[in-house]
Amino acid sequence: MTLLVAAVIVHDRAADRVVLIQRGEHAKFGRGMWDLPVGKNEPGEPVTATAVRELYEETGLVVAAESLKVVHVVHAALGVEAPGGYLTVVFATDEWTGEPENREPLKHAEVRWVDVDAVPGNFVRGNARALDHYLSGSWTQVSLHGWT
Positive or negative: CA dihedral 73, 75, 76, 81: positive
Residue 80 has what pLDDT?
47
CATH number, domain of 108, equals 3.90.79.10
**Residues, the chain, total?**
148
Find all residues with CB under 8 Å of 37, minimum gap 6, and list them: 6, 7, 8, 10, 19, 21, 54, 55, 58, 59, 111
Range of the domain at 81: 2-145
Q: What is the pLDDT of residues 104-114, one digit of tens each?
A: 999 999 999 99
Tell me what the mean pLDDT of segment 13-38 comes to.
92
Closest CA to 77 of 89, 69, 85, 88: 85
Residue type, position 29, single letter: F
Q: Look at the chain and report how many structural domains it folds into.
A: 1
**For the chain, percent of residues with pLDDT exceeding 70:** 86
